[in-house]
Amino acid sequence: MAKQVSHEEVFTRFVEDFRTLEGALKYEQAIQEMPTKGIRSLVVDFNDLYNYDMELAAEVMKDPDRILDLFSRVVYDKLRQKDLVYAEAQKKIHVRVRALPSLTQLRRIGSEHIGRLVMIKGIIVRATATTPQVMKAVFRCSNCNELNYVDQDGETLKTPIKCEHCDSKSRFDLVPKLSVFMDSQRVTTQERPEDLPPGQLPRSLHVDLKDDVVDQARPGDRITIVGSVDLLQRFGRGGQLRIFDMVMEASHIEVSGRESEMTDISPEDEEKIKEIAQDPWVHRRLLQSIAPSIYGHENIKESILYLLFGGITKELPDVRIRGDINVLLVGDPGTGKSQLLQFAAKIAPRGLMTTGRGSTAAGLTAAVVKEGGTGNFILEAGALVLADQGICCIDEIDKMREEDRGAIHPAMEQQIVPIAKGGIVATLNARTSILAAANPTLGRYNPYQTIGQNINLPVTILSRFDVIFVLKDVPDVERDTTMAEHILGLHRSAGSTITSSIDPELFRKYISYAKTRVRPLLSEEVVTRFRDFYVKMRTASVEGGEASAVSITARQLESLVRLAEARAKAHLRNEVTKEDAEAVITLMQASLEQVGIDVTTGQIDIDILYTGKPRSLQTQLQKVLGKIVELERTGPVKDDDLYEALAEEGVNRGEAAKLISTLMRDGTIFSPRPGTYRRAS
């Protein structure tokens, strides 16, 4: 007992004496501010306690439940002295410990950690609703009507064995109004993708949150938890089993923002990062560090580089403009798409890799599942939510089922995942850049067809990508010779000849540093250049006449701004320069010339991405539809009459047949009987 008093005395002195570097009484002041801030927890930095008294800090690690309970009583007594009314009104005062000196990997938590204080990092994948948990139950005896008080712990409700007043063992009724309840919530935290050993399934751990730490995090949030490891009983047919489940009771929970990514960057790393940025050939070095084992694809590697750094998100009063960049790679098999995606997921500070074939809408966004014990519906986060503030690589996005594909629409532009299922209406964050890859429908990319005809993706998704690149496998003696030598060199020396210009670990830190520290602004010169480019591209469309192709829209202008900001970030510049503007305009034009080109006229036509049909085809379809409307005044239109009318307009029979077939497929016209056509009402 003397030892307990001793711990209380040491902690009391610690609270009264501990000062910051500036000389302020850190914890004494924190207790004084509790009533004004309306909080009932004192958060203690473990490092402060360790520096003050190593023995007491060691005791906290060994027996957290008992020691922290003693600390709570000390803080409660001090709070009573400062504000008696506020202290009396609180059910319980907590002392919470944060920032332990060592981090325990979630998969390493085992029997040696039972009853000890540990710190883990993970992602919340599931969270139950907040439920009241009884801490002190009051029962009314049905025989004498007197009240009995029972302190509660463990999983099950403890009832009185017999009445304290009449010794009766009759029925006892819980009196909720007089009982003491505390909010509780159970979350499931899973290992972070970057902590996962290759080929291993992610481990998870249940964490109990109580009182004022409830609802501090939601599915998809990355968290750091300090808490004690407890056991959960398992029951079989013969009674309680020898096997237990582990659960963690959280003392302190911290939701990681982008700032937390800076924690692993040392001053030495920062010096190296600044040294790289000062190199006049920094851009070339960064590009050479993007998947160096894959030969060529300079434009694609450049777009992946910008995607990794990302633009600046603007939070306006009415709208939110995304800063994350989305890139789509379409190409022939064997051109290195999957390897580029795997590299991006690995090098990004937060990266997730998934495939369209193996993903459902719930797996990509969020699922509402029924909880085993209670039958309540709870939220489970999917890949896009888990990759929040990182990048999500989706391979074979064209293989996704059509009903699942629609789920990623709001995640790509609004960067949210709205859920309304099973009585749960919620909006989860999906502030992620998407790097996707797709294969052509017929195996090889057909240059005589539009992008929409080449891949099985709706135009609503295509238009949400900032840049789209096509990887074509075209025979070329000189290029093929160089590529063969490159591939054979890799096999011959087991990859030792290919070295990244920047070490991968340092490159990851470089990206993290740029994302968190650099916020480049557009210079007046850049604004003028983008405005002139946009107007020039739009003017070229107007000059072609009323039905001419639109070569660029405001969405591409926003993409240019994001790409330019990302390029400035890559150079650690606080201002976007004209050089950045020119480079991203060249990249955007290279993308539009591959996917936004009308194969009939050879003009850049953005309608291919927005409607799936070039403006030239839309004009021809409108011509056919106009003739059908004109001829059907006298009844159903016969095909001979329609072909004859179109021939007068300069449309030959073969072309007319294709146009009629397109209108039939779209449901714009129908055939009431063979050889006749009518417009669909």
Q: List, for residues 614-670, the tens digit of each pLDDT value.
A: 555 666 666 777 777 777 777 677 776 677 776 766 666 677 777 777 777 666 776
Q: What is the 3-state secondary structure (H, E, C) of 81-96?
A: HHCHHHHHHCCCCEEE
165 and 118, same domain (yes or no): yes
Q: Which amino acid is it at 223?
A: I
Q: What's the pLDDT at 225?
A: 92
Sheet holding 391-395, edge to edge: 351-355, 391-395, 433-438, 327-331, 467-471
pLDDT exceeds cutoff 70 at 545? no
- Per-residue tokens: 79: 């709070």
Q: CA gyration radius for the chain?
A: 32
Q: What's the pLDDT at 607?
A: 54
Q: Under a CB-based contact definition with an 8 Å cutoff, are residues 461 and 412 in contact?
A: yes
pLDDT exceeds cutoff 90 at 493? no
308 and 342, same domain (yes or no): yes
Position 271 in a domain: no
Residue 224 to residue 368: CA distance in whole angstroms: 25
Q: Count the domains in the chain.
A: 4
Q: Which amino acid is it at 539?
A: T
pLDDT exceeds cutoff 70 at 598? no
The CA distances from residue 338 to 308, 328, 380, 384, 439, in Å, are 16, 12, 27, 18, 11
Domain that holds residue 41: 2-98
413 and 484, same domain (yes or no): yes
Q: What is the mean pLDDT of residues 530-551?
A: 62
pLDDT exceeds cutoff 60 at 347? yes
Q: What's the pLDDT at 270?
A: 83
CB count in 10 Å sphere of residue 462: 20
Segments in 163-209 forming alpha helices (H):
none
Q: List, for residues 264-306, the tens digit of each pLDDT value.
A: 677 888 888 888 888 888 888 888 888 777 777 788 888 989 9
CATH code for the domain in which residue 91 is found: 3.30.1640.10
Our measurement of the distance from residue 429's CA atom to the centroid of its chain's CA atoms, rounded to an integer in Å, reads 7
Q: What's the pLDDT at 263?
A: 44
Boundary (domain end) residue, out of 518, 547, 581: 518
183 and 63, same domain (yes or no): no
Residue 678 to residue 530: CA distance in whole angstroms: 47
Boundary (domain end) residue, out of 65, 98, 131: 98
Helix (H) or strand (E) holding 375: none
414 and 316, same domain (yes or no): yes
The percentage of residues in the chain with a pLDDT greater than 90, rounded to a whole number, is 3
pLDDT exceeds cutoff 70 at 549? no
The percentage of residues in the chain with a pLDDT greater than 70, rounded to a whole number, is 83
Strands 424-429 and 320-321: unpaired
296 and 247, same domain (yes or no): no
89 and 127, same domain (yes or no): no
Position 299 in a domain: yes
The band of 120, judged by pLDDT with boundaries at 50, 70 and 90, is very high
Q: List, for residues 359-379, the tens digit of each pLDDT value.
A: 777 778 777 777 665 667 777
- What's this model's pTM, rounded to 2 decimal places? 0.69
116 and 81, same domain (yes or no): no
Q: What's the pLDDT at 474?
A: 67
The CA distances from residue 574 to 133, 279, 618, in Å, are 51, 16, 44
Position 228 in a domain: yes
Average pLDDT, the chain: 79
Q: What's the pLDDT at 501?
A: 73
Position 162 in a domain: yes
Q: Under a CB-based contact definition with an 8 Å cutoff, are residues 341 and 307 in contact?
A: no
CATH code for the domain in which residue 440 is found: 3.40.50.300
Q: What's the pLDDT at 602?
A: 46
The band of 611, judged by pLDDT with boundaries at 50, 70 and 90, is low
Q: What's the pLDDT at 226?
A: 92
Q: List, for residues 411-463, the tens digit of each pLDDT value.
A: 787 888 887 776 777 788 888 888 988 888 777 777 766 676 777 777 778 77
Q: What is the mean pLDDT of residues 301-312?
A: 89
DSSP notation for 215-249 = TS--TT-EEEEEEEEEEEEEEETTEEEEEEEEEEE
Position 273 in a domain: no
Position 574 in a domain: no
Q: What is the mean pLDDT of residues 207-228?
A: 86
